Amino acid sequence: MVYTPRSARHGTLLVGTVAVLGLLTGCGNGQEAGSPPITASGTAAPAQDGKSGSASAPASVPAGTPTASAPRSTASAGGGTTPATTRTASQAGGSRCHTSELGAAVGRNDPGAGQENFPVVLTNTSGRTCTLRGYPGAAFVNGSGGRLGADPRREPGSAVTVTLRPGQSAWAGLTFSNPEVSGAKQATPAALLVTPPDERDSLKVAWPGGPVPVAGNSSSVRLTVLSPGAAP
């Protein structure tokens, strides 16, 4: 047997004890010394307002994320909410008188100084109030519907909006030189086609005025803007 001095055995015991303690310390939490603590997923939320968190607490919603229950409204000047509005069909279509809502007529001639002056009258035959503005269209036609002469020229004038309640009328002046006086080529129309402003469809009116100029230097026919009423 090998003899070991007592002092050597004592030193070996101390070294072994220190090694065991170091091993136990390193295995206590599975971490190296100085490492930050590990947070496991699924732990409770931090305590708020003196109450501990709960693992079942709902997750927070990121800022700006819309929710299905959020109401949609428009803030008004008074601080309240105003529901969204939709334009009605009458607002979208405007209040202009359409051809189907009008009747046409040619009024009595008011001649003077070799001129023939006829009022062309448009009357609101509908059940609503509508408006006319500007010049109507006009054209002389024969019995077969063929045009006679050029379309009337527009007399300079300021257009006004004429509001027509049911049964009310507006008129425009149709003026030309008497062809028997001016010497222009003439023809006698069967009808006058009248087209309301901004419309495509025309109204056909029997022509009561006799011969009209259709060619030559003095064949011009003129038309004025619409004015309220049925006659000058």
Question: Pick from 127, 140, 130, 154: which is nearest to 189 by CA?
Answer: 140
**How far is the C-alpha of 220 from the C-alpha of 79, rounded, in Å?**
64
Distance CA 138, CA 176 (A): 13
Mean pLDDT of the chain: 73
Contacts (Cβ under 8 Å, ≥6 apart) of 134: 159, 197, 198, 225, 226
User: Lowest mean pLDDT: which of 28-37, 104-113, 116-125, 148-157?
Assistant: 28-37
Which residue's structure tokens are 């507006």?
Answer: 170
Per-residue pLDDT of 58-104, as tens digits, reads 444 444 444 444 434 444 444 444 333 333 333 333 599 999 999 99
DSSP-assigned beta bridge partners for residue 96: 131
Nearest to 123 by CA among 82, 166, 92: 166
Q: Which letter does DSSP use for residue 51 in this model?
A: B
How confident is the model at residue 218, as a pLDDT? Answer: 82
How many other CB atoms are there within 10 angstroms of residue 229's CB atom? 13
Contacts of 115 (CB under 8 A, 6+ apart): 175, 176, 177, 178
What stretches of the chain show up as alpha helix (H) in DSSP? 6-27, 89-93, 179-182
The four Cα atoms 170, 154, 117, 131 give a dihedral, to 10 degrees, of 0
Confidence at residue 185, expressed as pLDDT on a 0 to 100 scale = 94
The helix/strand/coil state of 26 is: helix
**Separation of alpha carbons 222 and 160, rounded Å:** 18
pTM of structure: 0.60
User: How confident is the model over 198-212, as a mean pLDDT?
Assistant: 96
Does domain 99-228 bear CATH number 2.30.30? no
